[in-house]
Structure 1
Amino acid sequence: MKAHYTMTSQVTLYTDGACSGNPGPGGWACVLLYNELRRRISGYEQYTTNNKMELTGVIKGLESLTRPMPVLIITDSQYVKNGFTEKWLENWQKNGWKTKSGKPVKNIELWMQLSLLQRKHHLSWQWVKGHSGNEYNDMCDELARNAIIKKNGIDEKF
């Protein structure tokens, strides 16, 4: 039976990124939870940074949704969470994609993608301490690290 998404339903999206060296080979991962549905997705980049992988995990998770949804994003990345909750993204856009000090925003192309996705979905954010025993955050961490080792990602229900 195909799932029916409504605006009263919420997806929980766990994300993580990893890098072997910074910069270096990287992996990203996300786990999506919706009612009884469970999906995990990961991917690999040959040369990247940890922050790019953290952002990519969120982007890929949101892009996998087939219609607008309320989404609770749970991440261990203060960088990603604060981009939204501390209004960094909003301020960068107002300042022509410049930081307070007038420098270009790092990872601008990824932040722009997230800005577009934010308009499609209703996002809320929660930070979780990494490597703290949170089942799905730990799963994302393992998936991201495995993507680096295998130089390949996955997309599967579990």
Structure 2
Amino acid sequence: MSERIGPPLRGDERETLRAFLDFHRATLALKCEGLNDEQLRRQASPPSTLSLLGLVRHMTEVERTWFRRVMGKENVGLVYSEETDYQAAYDASGATWGEAVAAWEAEVEASRRIEREAESLDVTAYNARWEEEVSLRLVMHHMIHEYARHNGHADLLREAVDGVTGV
């Protein structure tokens, strides 16, 4: 994942959305930095079974779904479930950082490509789950929201694993 760079203070809408999304992607990567697989799999906030590695796997599915499946109209399944079970990604019990980060980075790159190739933020695609057309603008905002929400979880998980805060 790339280094974390703040969004432009005077960028246009698309540049600003792109930068905020990349900022949050980099934040999740930083939350996982320096931990081994066992620490990344640790379910550190009982009774929740959530782990840092589970969050990375979940965000892999979110990237794939919103960008490749919805906006890109690609006929691809989920990464971690053949039954389209979005919760399956959270089970990181047998996962490793190497496989999880490779899958996540591949989906992020596909997402970036689809966003770059879109004519504008007004481009729409059908979201079968919502049974509605959605714009790239909505998808970008939704992704920022999704990462920000889960980065809050990652803050708590990381602190519980090794006491690190403030990343």
Calculate the TM-score normalised by the size of structure 1. Answer: 0.30
- Greater strand content: 1
Structure having greater relative contact order (Cα 8 Å, sep ≥ 6): 1
